[in-house]
Structure 1
Amino acid sequence: MRIFILTLFLVVNFISCSKDNNSDNPTSTQLNIINSLNDFDSRIAKGVTLAFFHATWCSKCATQRPEVEGLISDSELQSVFFCEVDYEKNANIVSKYEVFGFPTILLIKDGQVKHTLVGSNNKKADIKQLLKSL
């Protein structure tokens, strides 16, 4: 009986550790990760973009993230491109777009920054209203 229970336990654990085939692609509630200035510039050239600039060590960034990610699945914002830019990995983007503090949210339309939101006190409803106005 012990062997049966142990075997069952191992099989269940093995199955639960299987690789998710979509793990490399963002889900409908994840920000798209930007890896280069060229990638960023091409993605923001047309349409409306929300770019979340953050640093991994920034506690205020962690506080702001749920408000930003909460907008991704909003049916009224389906045409918005949501992305994140890690300051430590993309200093050239941070410099070009004059991001001086973290977190910073840039709301961009057709390649032009329309709104800059700095700090962790930006509420989902306020961000949504600004996005809808673009």
Structure 2
Amino acid sequence: MAHKFTDDNFEQEVLKSQVPVIVDFYADWCGPCKMMAPIIEELAENYEGTVKVGKLNVDEAPNVSSKYRVMSIPTLLFIKDGEVVDTVVGAVPKGQLTDKIEKLK
């Protein structure tokens, strides 16, 4: 199951993570975000233990969203050692995300 990231736990769960992290910036009202939700859940299960996959609701976590200048959703940030190493904006196929995850590890 995908982790739930918030303004309160972002630093501990994401920036200080021992493994690479994928953060899915989404909103409940966003159609493309809903299309991506099953893919994000599947990635979370497939990479459990090696890559942390989670979601951050932009309406509930405005501080993190503005810090990373998230203007469009869904936006996925690929974070390793506390630094953003890649970004994907919009709904994309699972294979494209898998390729980026493999480069992260």
Match of 1:83 among 54, 57, 68: 54
Q: What are the residue-to-residue correspondences of 1:48-127 with 2, within 5 Å? A: 48-74=20-46, 78-120=49-91, 122-127=92-97
Q: Per-residue displacement from partner, 1:14-50 (whole Å, max 9, x unpaired)?
A: xxxxxxxxxxxxxxxx2111232x4111222232001
Give the residue type in structure 2 aligned to 1:85.
L
Give the residue type in structure 2 aligned to 1:65.
A
Q: Tell me, which stretches of 5 or more residues in structure 1 are unaligned?
A: 1-29
The percentage of counterpart residues that share the same residue type is 27
TM-score, normalization by structure 1: 0.70
> How far has the Cα of 1:109 moved from its partner?
0.4
CA distance in 2, matches of 1:72, 1:107: 13
Partners of 1:70 and 1:124 within 8 A in 2: no
> How far has the Cα of 1:64 moved from its partner?
1.3
How many matched pairs?
102
Using CA pairs below 8 Å that are at least 6 residues apart, which structure has the higher relative contact order?
A: 2
Q: Tell me, which stretches of 5 or more residues in structure 2 are unaligned?
A: none
**Structure having the larger proportion of residues in strand:** 2
Structure of higher CA gyration radius: 1
